[in-house]
Structure 1
Amino acid sequence: MRVHFHGAAGEVTGSLHEVEAAGRRVLLDCGMIQGSPEAERRNAEAFPFEPTALDALVVSHAHIDHIGRVPLLVKRGFRAPIYAQHATADLMPIMLMDAASISEGDAERHNRYRRAGEPEAQPLFTREDVAAAMALVRPLSYDARTEVLPGIDIAFREAGHILGSSSVEVWADGRKLVFSGDLGPKGTPILRDPADIDRADLVLMESTYGDRLHRDRADTIRELGDILDTAWREGGNVLIPAFAVGRSQELLYWFARHWDEWNLSRWHIFLDSPMASKVVSVYERHADLFDEDARRVWRGKPDPFRLPNLHFTQSREESMAINRIERGAIVIAGSGMANAGRILHHFRHRLDRRQTHVVFVGYQAEGTLGRRLVDGAKWVRIHGNDVRVNAQRHTVGGLSAHTDQRGLMAWYGTISGSGDASHPPLALVHGEDRAREALAGEIGETFGVHATLGRPGLVLDV
């Protein structure tokens, strides 16, 4: 078995790893590169392999940085099966249709205003490409070892990151590869904890927060309640950039759980994302994947997805109308890194106001507007306009969907190696170098394992 590192190898987005085994080629994830405009232009480049030569694609979960180039792969000739956990398979068309719509819209706007002689822009992929990709998807259940190709078995294990998120075990050529996917912290609301893996000959592990520890979740929830209380007293609105899958649903969970304590009935709460509204339906269909705490909350009152003052905004006009509310609005809108989507319109109208509170609840990649705001930018450009940033900014790290350094080390520490090895060889992916280097140092000191830092073009034999 041999692993080729192509994407999310020195950066957080663009997950793309190729496995050669049993005379076949299997791709693990096919994610979109996100961040600066320069970084995102790399999505249109040729793949570092021939799509028609692949025999299968296995996706770990439905975030765009893990599935966002799947329709492009199909557009360029891929016709093999795509394996995903059942909930992931249900989320994929929602996420990918939204990405296609954005890409088509961007191309249309560019062509409307392009200068004479400038080449016509093409969308990265279309909704027709998404439909073609979804026809190839083969859903699998958690913990079911399945032969996907002659001599190659896989199994999905709970990763605790978002609904349907999986770590992937791959057996071939008498060896076993484990790909962590994205790992969530233990005790994440709604989701079950990441599953322990018993053995591996090589582990590919994410390292997004490999250099830091999250705040205690209880402290984080108290902080969120304090932010809402302060915003109410100051007469402002609260803007929360959040991914449609994961953080949006968790926020509604906490709102339901602390409904009385935070006096949330006084607010107007908006889930300003047609995509997130569809995702809520998928969560409800897969309630069997919820942990016991979530089941108790859903049995109580109010239902997190049916709060009495929760508004699901669908149309552009409904979204625009939110900006007429001067105070008392909590707006959860995409995208999570504030590099696209409806949150930009709310930022454009509200960032210049001191009484506006912006709450970041997830990772902000290099080059994104969210990262610039977290880093303290005084001015930002939104839709061609320079906007003064007077809003109060809060980074609530304890709500991250990614586990921290301690959690990564604990997950890896449960995996035994082959033969006499206490722990398997390890390659770190899906992290910036600062985070990966810090995690590699801690793992070397704790487990005596020299972790490899995945790089594009690197090949490892298992």
Structure 2
Amino acid sequence: MEVRFLGGAREIGRSAILVDDSLLLDYGMSGGNPPTYPPDVDPDAAVVSHGHLDHAGMVPALLKGTRRPPVHWTAATRDLTYLLAEDTLSIQGDRFDQPFTRAEIGAIGEVSVTHAYGEPFKAAGYEVTLYDAGHIPGSAHVLVDDGATRLFYTGDFNTEAQRLVEPSRDRPAADAVIVESTYADVTRPSRASIEESFVRAVSETIHRGGTVVVPAFAIGRTQEMMLLCEANDLECYVDGMGIRVTERLRHAPESLRDPAAFRRASGHARFVTGRDGQRRRIADQNTVIVTTAGMLAGGPAMTYVPAVAGNPTNLIAMTGYQVEGTPGRDLLDTGSAEIDGRRMPVSARVEQFDFSAHADRDGLLELLESYPGATILVNHGDQCERFAAALRESGYGAGAPARGEVVSL
């Protein structure tokens, strides 16, 4: 089995891995400005681990012209990928060359094949099985078996329970593991303590008369914040693509940890459907606003952040990983960010709360404990080589392939 790393190798974004020039695992884009893409590829079939931009954002581009490779995924990942694709065309507009067309988005329905967790299926001649990865609704580990080698691709995963989804638990036997490493250099506090810090900071801000803007990824993080606000009786508005994602997930209760809690949170939140005038009025209230985009690279956040930026009583609560080069990362690092084409100093308090849906170092090691004799290939991280070296010191056969590299298993 030969594995070619087309993207997501020693980087976060544009994940794409090609097995034997036949089976494609994920096909995403980066969230940078401008975005970057993996190379063009024409596989016999694709398997998509989950519906985030950096793993599924380029799926429509697989369907150029007469190309129609089957695309295998969970039903939730299929639905979320549709939303991502539509949002990509909407947000990018005329700023960048479009990576695909609306016709190619429409062709997804012709090639989509959905699967439940734990049920083997055939794809490009391989036996493939999806397992719950505990990252977002519908997220999956991918096991690929060619009869001689079993390759376990973790995708993005989490070993700690979130309010939205259950944690990753399945550990099928494998000869090789491609493991993400987004937080390989981080050991984070418990989710309960992170939630406590967030609720305290938000409550204090509102009590002092401030407004809290929570930039959040539309898929997963927005809904997690909704659940947390409802559980702590914090009024919240929700704006952006997260509204459409929430509506889709309400019809997919099988992908949720607690459907009843999700219904309560959906009823508790106030969904914003107006334009910038309404948004500016909301930004003057003592309230919580959960809004896309999570890295401040577009969406309604472009209205809310400038509206609250000048008042140090206000709080901008960052809740997710900020890729280098994005406005969100600039804001954390420098206290200013380029918003809608202009550099903006921010006097409002800016705090980072690590609500990541990725496993931290302890979680990564917990998964790898089940694969002591396997070949470990580290990807999807800023410190892939460093983590691979640490694994080798612990006795693993580990490496960190570069983008474009081919590994024979």
CA RMSD of the aligned region, Å? 1.9
Q: What does the per-residue CA deviation read over 1:109-165, in whole Å, with 9 as the maximum and x for residues that have no partner?
A: x5xxxxxxxxxx742222222111332111111110112233x11011000000000
Q: What is the rounded CA distance, in whole Å, between the counterparts of 1:456 and 1:387 in structure 2?
A: 35
* Aligned partner (choices 388, 395, 400) of residue 440 of structure 1: 388
Correspondences of 1:137-216 after superposition (within 5 Å): 137-150=112-125, 152-216=126-190
Aligned-partner residue type, residue 311 of structure 1: R
* Aligned partner (choices 344, 356, 374) of residue 387 of structure 1: 344
* Aligned partner (choices 270, 274, 277) of residue 243 of structure 2: 277
In the alignment, structure 2 segments of 5+ residues that lack a partner are: none
Q: Percent identity?
A: 28
Label 1:5 to 1:122 Cα distance change in 2 as closer, same or farther (>3 A): closer
Label 1:17 to 1:384 Cα distance change in 2 as closer, same or farther (>3 A): same
In the alignment, structure 1 segments of 5+ residues that lack a partner are: 111-120, 416-421
Kept in 1, the 8 Å contact 2:57–2:81? The answer is no
Match of 2:100 in 1: 125
Say how many residue pairs are matched: 408
Q: What is the rounded CA distance, in whole Å, between the counterparts of 2:91 and 2:260 in structure 1?
A: 37
TM-score by length of 1: 0.84
Larger of the two Rg values belongs to structure: 1
Q: What is the rounded CA distance, in whole Å, between the counterparts of 1:127 and 1:353 in structure 2?
A: 41
Kept in 2, the 8 Å contact 1:101–1:127? The answer is no
Residue 78 in structure 1 maps to residue 45 in structure 2: no
Aligned-partner residue type, residue 272 of structure 2: T
Label 1:437 to 1:46 Cα distance change in 2 as closer, same or farther (>3 A): closer
Label 1:192 to 1:378 Cα distance change in 2 as closer, same or farther (>3 A): closer
Aligned-partner residue type, residue 144 of structure 1: E
Q: What is the rounded CA distance, in whole Å, between the counterparts of 2:13 and 2:124 in structure 1?
A: 28
TM-score by length of 2: 0.94
Q: What does the per-residue CA deviation read over 1:158-196, in whole Å, with 9 as the maximum and x for residues that have no partner?
A: 000000000000010421111000012321222122132
Match of 1:419 in 2: none
Kept in 2, the 8 Å contact 1:192–1:289? The answer is no
SS at match of 1:101: helix
Match of 1:115 in 2: none
Q: What is the rounded CA distance, in whole Å, between the counterparts of 1:202 and 1:428 in structure 2?
A: 11
Question: By how many angstroms is 1:427 displaced?
Answer: 0.5
Label 1:330 to 1:405 Cα distance change in 2 as closer, same or farther (>3 A): same
Residue 405 in structure 1 maps to residue 361 in structure 2: yes
Match of 1:113 in 2: none
Aligned-partner residue type, residue 367 of structure 2: W
Q: What is the rounded CA distance, in whole Å, between the counterparts of 2:386 and 2:196 in structure 1?
A: 29
Q: What is the rounded CA distance, in whole Å, between the counterparts of 1:175 and 1:184 in structure 2?
A: 25
* Aligned partner (choices 328, 346, 358) of residue 286 of structure 2: 328
Question: By how many angstroms is 1:380 displaced?
Answer: 2.4
Residue 455 in structure 1 maps to residue 402 in structure 2: yes
Q: What is the rounded CA distance, in whole Å, between the counterparts of 1:72 and 1:92 in structure 2?
A: 12
Find runs of 4+ consecutive structure 1 residues off by over 3 angstroms. 295-298
Question: By how many angstroms is 1:73 displaced?
Answer: 2.4
Q: What does the per-residue CA deviation read over 1:330-355, in whole Å, with 9 as the maximum and x for residues that have no partner?
A: 11111111112111221122212211
Match of 2:211 in 1: 237
Question: By how many angstroms is 1:296 displaced?
Answer: 6.3
Kept in 2, the 8 Å contact 1:154–1:170? The answer is yes
Q: What does the per-residue CA deviation read over 1:403-453, in whole Å, with 9 as the maximum and x for residues that have no partner?
A: 1010011012123xxxxxx430100111013xx24432442333x013211
SS at match of 1:71: helix
Residue 311 in structure 1 maps to residue 270 in structure 2: yes
Question: By how many angstroms is 1:46 displaced?
Answer: 4.7
Label 1:127 to 1:313 Cα distance change in 2 as closer, same or farther (>3 A): farther
Match of 2:296 in 1: 338
Residue 367 in structure 1 maps to residue 364 in structure 2: no
Label 1:320 to 1:439 Cα distance change in 2 as closer, same or farther (>3 A): farther
Q: What is the rounded CA distance, in whole Å, between the counterparts of 2:91 and 2:291 in structure 1?
A: 15
Label 1:428 to 1:76 Cα distance change in 2 as closer, same or farther (>3 A): farther
Q: What is the rounded CA distance, in whole Å, between the counterparts of 1:288 and 1:245 in structure 2?
A: 16
Q: What does the per-residue CA deviation read over 1:294-352, in whole Å, with 9 as the maximum and x for residues that have no partner?
A: 35635xxx811100xx221234x1x5412124231211111111112111221122212
